[in-house]
Amino acid sequence: MMNNSRSEIISTMTGLFYPYILLLGFYVILNGHISPGGGFQGGAVLASVFISRYLVDPEKCVRIKILQTAEKLLFLAIILFAVLIGISKVMIFNSLTPVVYLIIMNSLIGIKVCCGLTIIFFRYVFYEGGI
């Protein structure tokens, strides 16, 4: 059943669109402080790259263990970064401009959301229930 549903057209077109979806995702993340979008939306766009890769070849599994540790580390990094910036704002006034802070925070959140959504999807596909 899995093999019948694979279509040549879909896999070729998805392969062509990969770089553009990636570019859009990074654009949405990095321009989050000016234009609509931000960490969450850009991360979801990046996760859709992994999910469409499942449509291209369903047998290929991503390494969920690595993604899980990366997600945990990023979660810690987000909290630590915000706390450290808060402390340094008190001690050394105006050390970091808000724009840089927003960009770093947005990209951290974006990568974390991408990891999280990819883990949810692949865990559901490969480990829940029988096919």
**Binding residues for another protein, per CB under 8 A?**
1, 5, 28, 36-38, 40-41, 44-45, 47-48, 51-52, 54-55, 117, 121, 124-125, 129-131
Contacts of 3 by beta carbon, 8 Å cutoff, 6+ apart: none
Q: Which is nearer to another protein, 52 or 68 (CB)?
A: 52
Q: Name the token pair of 92.
A: 């050394």
Q: Which is nearer to another protein, 25 or 108 (CB)?
A: 25
Q: Name the token pair of 42.
A: 């850009």
| Nearest distance from C-beta of residue 111 to another protein, angstroms | 16
Q: Which is nearer to another protein, 98 or 130 (CB)?
A: 130
Q: Name the token pair of 19.
A: 């770089």
Q: Name the token pair of 9.
A: 């057209």
Q: Name the token pair of 76.
A: 């810690």
Q: Identify whether the C-beta of residue 52 lies closer than 8 Å to the C-beta of residue 21.
A: yes
| Nearest distance from C-beta of residue 119 to another protein, angstroms | 13
Residue that is written with structure tokens 């987000």 in the block: 78
| Rounded distance between C-alpha atoms, residue 58 and residue 35, angstroms | 35
| Nearest distance from C-beta of residue 67 to another protein, angstroms | 16
| Nearest distance from C-beta of residue 23 to another protein, angstroms | 15
Q: Which is nearer to another protein, 64 or 85 (CB)?
A: 64
